[in-house]
Amino acid sequence: MQSFEPGEVWYWDYSTNELYESGPELAGPVSHPVDQPVLGPAGRVPDDWARVLRA
């Protein structure tokens, strides 16, 4: 099954090659709050993070 993200309502079952328009009820995310940016805690990622990674 494809990985769910908050707000998604479909999934692909790779074992049967089927698309499901609605997935199972899932537990809420535990990695970060929905309103928090994915890149890190709010205010902790520098504005020029892409440049810093290339350095």
pLDDT by position in tens, the chain (length 55): 556 566 777 888 888 898 888 766 767 767 766 676 666 566 677 788 888 888 6
Structure confidence at residue 37 (pLDDT): 64
Give the H or E element holding residue 51: helix 49-54
Structure confidence at residue 32 (pLDDT): 66
| Amino acid identity at 28 | G
Structure confidence at residue 46 (pLDDT): 77
pTM metric for this prediction = 0.34
Q: Where are the domains of the chain?
A: 1-27
